[in-house]
Amino acid sequence: MNSPSDPAAGSYLMQALWKLNQKQEAAAHWWKHLERPMGEDGQQEGQERAFGMSNGHRRELQQCSLTGEDLSTAILKQKNRPNRLIVDEAINEDNSVVSLSQAKMDELQLFRGDTVLLKGKKRREAVCIVLSDDTCSDEKIRMNRVVRNNLRVRLGDVISIQPCPDVKYGKRIHVLPIDDTVEGITGNLFEVYLKPYFLEAYRPIRKDRYKASDWHL
């Protein structure tokens, strides 16, 4: 492993540890190096530059380390972006619903049943209905596996959320099955799977964001 003073290594460490959900270990690792005495060669200052940390960031991470606060939460607070949230597992399995705490919904001026636009990785977007969940942390958003797949994110990743009030009512959609996902299935696909899923459900959908496996065929 490269030295923590290497800028490329610092960036790689942060991304790798984030994905592995080892954020506490990352904070402890950084502080082991950042708390070294300042030498004549300015080694500590160079390490701060390598990790892109200001004195304020160092204090935030120190507080995170002392209190046991999750590093991802500390990073979100530093950036002060209330619409950026950490992905958490959903309690319900509705493919059209995401859940926030009531405090976060109030902060973002969202109401139960509002339509929201979610942005994940690789410019992937999804449109969902937002509901409140008293058991959800303020810095997290709950979504099921289908929504995560559409956004190309995993548990612990960060996504953004914003109101999407101007969604038009659709009059007609085309659902094209993928051959290898419907092999061996008999009966009328529309009557058995699509009609119960869409009829009177008022589901927000986005072009190219649904596939046959989303309905657990």
Q: Is residue 189 part of a domain?
A: no
Q: Within 13 Å and on the Cβ side, how many CA atoms surround 211?
A: 10
CATH of the domain at 104: 2.40.40.20
Mean pLDDT of 179-184: 70
> In this structure, how many other beta carbons lie within 10 angstroms of the beta carbon of residue 121?
12
Q: Is-contact 173 205, C-beta < 8 A? A: yes
pLDDT digits (tens, 9 = 90+) for 161-181: 999 988 787 777 777 776 666
Q: Is residue 54 part of a domain?
A: no
Q: Is residue 115 part of a domain?
A: yes
Sign (positive or negative) of CA dihedral 108, 74, 96, 102? negative
b or e along 183-217 (b: 16 or more beta carbons within 10 Å of the residue's beta carbon)? eeeeeebeeebbeebbeeeebbbbeebbbbebbee
Look up residue 68 and give its two tokens: 């046991």
* Residue 199 confidence (pLDDT): 76
CA distance 140 to 161: 11
Task: Give the range of the structural domain holding residue 98, as residue numbers without chain letter.
Answer: 84-163
pLDDT digits (tens, 9 = 90+) for 10-45: 566 556 555 555 555 555 555 555 555 544 444 444
Model confidence pTM above 0.75: no
Q: Please give the tally of structural domains in the chain.
A: 1
